[in-house]
Amino acid sequence: MHRLFFGLDLPADIKQRLLGVYAPIYGAKWQSLEQLHITLLFLGKVEPDRISALCDAARDLPVEAFELDVSGLGCFGQARSPRNLWAGVQPPDPVAALHWALRSRMAGLGFAPERRSFRPHVTLARFKKQRGSVEGLLDDHGESVFGHFAVSDVVLFESNQGRGGSVYTVIERFPLPDPH
């Protein structure tokens, strides 16, 4: 079984800028440079013989290549006791369009959709039950701009547990049509 998800890869310079906000916060498990991405759709455990069909379904998505900004910080949960610290993406609409296109196609293959609503973001840190506040980080970096980049493809990632957390491997890239 392979643990898979669709996502968007980030350019190295944006990942480096995102690392600049890291600070010691009680209970925070910070993502490494290699772990930074935007999740479009989590599939979970997939049998190897199903990967070819899901790759076929992910080709020729009905969303053209677009530009994206990574900016601002936010959190899921309260700033005094967050579950997750994230960087935002603007505009969210084309990212959401990719999510919905993938979700529809994967549902056609029998993949159950996630129950939670989709909010495009880059996860920077996850928190254990005992959590420190991110209020200072939100005050300092809440409006920061981390970079602008062209989204030209969707990536199918495999996630494996390693010593330092999850290790993501690119299975396949799916080019988006050029808008010109």
Q: Is 121 a catalytic residue?
A: yes
Tell me the two tokens of residue 6: 């669709």
Look at residues 72, 68, 168, 54 and name the one whose alpha carbon lies nearest to residue 124.
72
Q: Which of 99, 121, 141, 148 is catalytic?
A: 121
CA distance 6 to 120: 12
Q: Which of 37, 99, 141, 148 is catalytic?
A: 37
CA distance 130 to 27: 6
Q: Is 148 a catalytic residue?
A: no
- If one counts every other C-beta atom within 10 angstroms of the C-beta of residue 165, the result is 15
Q: Catalytic site residues?
A: 37, 121
